[in-house]
Chain A
Amino acid sequence: MFSVDLIFEAVLFGILLGCFYAAVSLGLSVAFGLLDVPYVAHPALLILGSYFTYALCQTGIDPIVCGLLLMPVFYLIGIAFYRFYYETFEKRSTDTGVRGLAFFFGMAFIIEVCLILAFGVDQRTVSASYIGSSLEIGDYRLPYRMLVAFVIALSLTFVMTIYFSKTFNGRAIKAVGQDEGALRLMGANPVKIKQLAFGIATAVNALAGAMLIIVGPVEPAMDRIYIGRTFCVVVLAGLGSMSGTLVAGLVLGIAESIVMMTLGPSWAPAVSFGLLLLMLGARPQGLFGR
């Protein structure tokens, strides 16, 4: 069968991949997991972040820096999105289910098509000093770009977890998903809090998008497969669980890596979606959900 070495390398790669998937899903974990917004446009915004990073990169700026520079822009986009969603759907609360879903689905398609019209369907990549070479530890080769993404992903997850457990605003965001009334009594404005959360979720997407294009080439249609990966991580973690996102990401990353090694890369898309269906059927509250 497969040598222990190969399996070990696959697992190692899977860990790096998994942390990346976790970071990419953080925004969704907040927007959907905590705030209950049917944010199916999240993966499309992720790809948008990648393309904006690509465009900025052409001026010579390092992709990670591009991602960081884009964060405030995406923060504003997130706030605008939530404001719009709130005014149009949540406030009126008639038939929100279908309309909200249709709205975000439509937005996802619009973003994807605009990217195709602007950049074409070909894959885009960025270049940086750490892209292309690998770190060699003994017999194993770990691509530097994966290590860079791994470090960023871990830091991002760490920062988000601290934010949501230690700061007033962060805790308010966690609370608003559970009991708006109580939050109002404490003097906080639920709408402003949700707006903030959405802004943060989308800003994180900018950095995640930069990571995505560092890790590999992107094309406009990638938002479709990332619907599977991000929702898989969020559902696997359980709605409302920030720390669970990392564990869930690792599970997905390792699973995908092993499947790619054993069955081939054409089976990769089925892993996230398959895991997602499995969770929905067997344990919809996820591993750590409320």
Chain B
Amino acid sequence: METILEVNNVIKQFGGFTALSDVNLRVQQGERLGLIGPNGSGKTTLINCISGAFTDYQGSIRFDGTDISKLKAHERTKRGIARSFQIPRPFSSMSVMENLLVPFAFVGGKDGPVQQKEAMDILQGMGLADKAFVQSNQLSQVELRKMELARAMAAKPKLLISDEAMAGLAGTEVDEVLEILFDLNKLGITIIMIEHIMQAVMKFSQRVVCLDAGKIICEGTPETIVKNPEVQRAYLGD
């Protein structure tokens, strides 16, 4: 399997505060990677560096063979990196369908009837087809989360970063979103999942990386991670 994402020696500081110190990560094509860590450990900062929300960090990031460190976020999206947001950010004045047509228009270059059909297919796969023409500010929490993922899909990504897509959802809702992520992975999309819900991370990930205070403290299979004393200390304290 080839490496699709390389994070090399990334350091990110905010004024005097170091959010990420010397992070190294390799993600394989088609992999399901779980990223865990307590609040404030730097998970979202790492995602922001990968997706291009931050471009002023030290170190380099390579995607699909090219150095993307200098590229802006929208250029990275065009290369195939998509992300969902921890707190959903819908285009609230637009319908669900129109939300999806934005990435179709700007990544794919077209937003005609063919793309509208494709958008409906995506929505169908997520169980949102009946809400296609509802204004997105009318959706429930779980529907918003699904729309975030649908919108990310409309950008036809090779890598999808799901930032706590299940936060605050109830039991069956978590399973719904999990199933969507599994289906996307079956299509060949590499997925990095940031999540606090441990069962979801265990079920989903082939490999788990744990972050604490801006450093990767261990990586491995879900079983080994859960038993790792450092991970336990990071979450539960000494």
Q: Which residues of B contact A (CB under 8 A)?
A: 15, 92-93, 137
In the complex, the answer to whether A94 meets B92 with C-beta atoms within 8 Å is yes
Tell me the bound Cα distance from A94 to B137 in angstroms.
9
In the complex, the answer to whether B15 meets A290 with C-beta atoms within 8 Å is yes
Binary flags per residue of A204-242, CB closer than 8 Å to B gives 1, else 0: 000000000000000000000000000000000000000
4 contacts between A and B (CB under 8 A): A94-B92, A94-B137, A95-B93, A290-B15
Ranked nearest first, the 4 interchain pairs of A and B with the lowest CB-CB distance are A94-B92, A290-B15, A94-B137, A95-B93
**Measured between C-beta atoms, what is the minimum distance from B164 to chain A in Å?**
15
Main secondary structure of the interface of B (DSSP, over half): loop
Task: Collect the chain A residues with CB atoms within 8 Å of residue B92's CB.
Answer: 94
**Measured between C-beta atoms, what is the minimum distance from A30 to chain B in Å?**
21
Which chain B residue has the least Cβ–Cβ distance from A94?
Answer: B92
Task: Collect the chain B residues with CB atoms within 8 Å of residue A94's CB.
Answer: 92, 137
Which chain A residue has the least Cβ–Cβ distance from B137?
Answer: A94
Task: Collect the chain B residues with CB atoms within 8 Å of residue A290's CB.
Answer: 15
Task: Collect the chain A residues with CB atoms within 8 Å of residue B15's CB.
Answer: 290
Which chain B residue has the least Cβ–Cβ distance from A290?
Answer: B15
**Measured between C-beta atoms, what is the minimum distance from B15 to chain A in Å?**
7
Q: Which residues of A contact B (CB under 8 A)?
A: 94-95, 290
**Measured between C-beta atoms, what is the minimum distance from B44 to chain A in Å?**
14
**Measured between C-beta atoms, what is the minimum distance from B196 to chain A in Å?**
16
Tell me the bound Cα distance from A95 to B15 in angstroms.
30
Main secondary structure of the interface of A (DSSP, over half): loop
**Measured between C-beta atoms, what is the minimum distance from A90 to chain B in Å?**
16
Task: Collect the chain A residues with CB atoms within 8 Å of residue B93's CB.
Answer: 95
**Measured between C-beta atoms, what is the minimum distance from A279 to chain B in Å?**
18
Which chain A residue has the least Cβ–Cβ distance from B14?
Answer: A290
Tell me the bound Cα distance from A95 to B91 in angstroms.
11
Tell me the bound Cα distance from A37 to B30 in angstroms.
45
**Measured between C-beta atoms, what is the minimum distance from B138 to chain A in Å?**
12
Tell me the bound Cα distance from A152 to B92 in angstroms.
48
Tell me the bound Cα distance from A98 to B176 in angstroms.
37
Which chain B residue has the least Cβ–Cβ distance from A93?
Answer: B92
Tell me the bound Cα distance from A290 to B17 in angstroms.
11
**Measured between C-beta atoms, what is the minimum distance from B155 to chain A in Å?**
25
Task: Collect the chain B residues with CB atoms within 8 Å of residue A95's CB.
Answer: 93
Which chain A residue has the least Cβ–Cβ distance from B93?
Answer: A95
Tell me the bound Cα distance from A290 to B92 in angstroms.
31
Tell me the bound Cα distance from A95 to B90 in angstroms.
12
**Measured between C-beta atoms, what is the minimum distance from B86 to chain A in Å?**
13
Tell me the bound Cα distance from A95 to B137 in angstroms.
12
**Measured between C-beta atoms, what is the minimum distance from B165 to chain A in Å?**
20
Which chain A residue has the least Cβ–Cβ distance from B15?
Answer: A290
Which chain B residue has the least Cβ–Cβ distance from A289?
Answer: B15
Task: Collect the chain A residues with CB atoms within 8 Å of residue B137's CB.
Answer: 94
**Measured between C-beta atoms, what is the minimum distance from B89 to chain A in Å?**
12
Tell me the bound Cα distance from A95 to B94 in angstroms.
13
Tell me the bound Cα distance from A94 to B92 in angstroms.
8
**Measured between C-beta atoms, what is the minimum distance from B135 to chain A in Å?**
11
Tell me the bound Cα distance from A114 to B106 in angstroms.
48
Tell me the bound Cα distance from A290 to B93 in angstroms.
33
Which chain B residue has the least Cβ–Cβ distance from A285?
Answer: B15
Tell me the bound Cα distance from A151 to B86 in angstroms.
50
**Measured between C-beta atoms, what is the minimum distance from A283 to chain B in Å?**
14
Tell me the bound Cα distance from A166 to B137 in angstroms.
43
**Measured between C-beta atoms, what is the minimum distance from B184 to chain A in Å?**
30
Tell me the bound Cα distance from A235 to B237 in angstroms.
41
Tell me the bound Cα distance from A290 to B15 in angstroms.
8
Tell me the bound Cα distance from A168 to B137 in angstroms.
38
**Measured between C-beta atoms, what is the minimum distance from A97 to chain B in Å?**
13
**Measured between C-beta atoms, what is the minimum distance from A286 to chain B in Å?**
13
Which chain A residue has the least Cβ–Cβ distance from B92?
Answer: A94
Tell me the bound Cα distance from A94 to B15 in angstroms.
31
**Measured between C-beta atoms, what is the minimum distance from A99 to chain B in Å?**
13
**Measured between C-beta atoms, what is the minimum distance from A254 to chain B in Å?**
28
**Measured between C-beta atoms, what is the minimum distance from A174 to chain B in Å?**
15
Tell me the bound Cα distance from A188 to B228 in angstroms.
38
Tell me the bound Cα distance from A87 to B56 in angstroms.
37
Tell me the bound Cα distance from A77 to B93 in angstroms.
34
Tell me the bound Cα distance from A1 to B137 in angstroms.
65
**Measured between C-beta atoms, what is the minimum distance from A1 to chain B in Å?**
42
Tell me the bound Cα distance from A281 to B183 in angstroms.
47
Tell me the bound Cα distance from A290 to B137 in angstroms.
33
